[in-house]
Structure 1
Amino acid sequence: MMLTNAEQWTKAFYQKRGWSEYGPFIRMGFLMEETGELARAVRTYEIGRDRPDEAKRPASELKQELVEEMGDVMGNLIMLAKIYNVSLEEIMESHRKKLTERFAGQHEDC
């Protein structure tokens, strides 16, 4: 899915569910919650949880959870960007420009 397709789908889906009405502070709360869930998924995938009350799960299941949590983070980022009328392409272009200028001469092939 291209970034613009992901943005369009996310905005439409969240709109239908009534999730697009939340302001920036609530949206940031959701983003932070999902970021925490992603952090837990990364930890579980990389080093496990070491809990006797949780069964060991196959790597494919752990990776799927990781991907889903990344999607939740991305969805909330898309909706936060929508509040400020910023596209993912604009975000990535600004990010690319900032890093290439900061590290000019170090990574000519990027």
Structure 2
Amino acid sequence: MARKSTKTTSADGTVYALPQVLDLKAATPLAEKLMSLRGQNIVLDASKVERLGTQCVQILIAAAATWKDEMAAFSIAEPSDSFTSGLQVLGLTPQAILEKELAQ
């Protein structure tokens, strides 16, 4: 049974626990959730992620760029092995998402 995402706050900002499955079906809800948090400092808790798809990676990259443009903090905390390996398949790391510049 998939665990629902949760949101809390910390000294670093709003903590949003990413869902276990970040596949095509999770892309729209993820984008909507991140948009609802726009303007806040945010920490994404990636500790429970078991599956990571390309569409959700694209959303995370776009969100990181948006937060950077708006000068708000955006970070990824405790990436699970599955989250990290899902990024590695695409030639990325959690840090690369935060530093990725989108082509204009």
TM-score (norm 2): 0.29
Pair member with larger Rg: 1
Q: Which has the higher helix share?
A: 1
The structure whose RCO (Cα within 8 Å, separation 6+) is larger is 1
TM-score (norm 1): 0.28
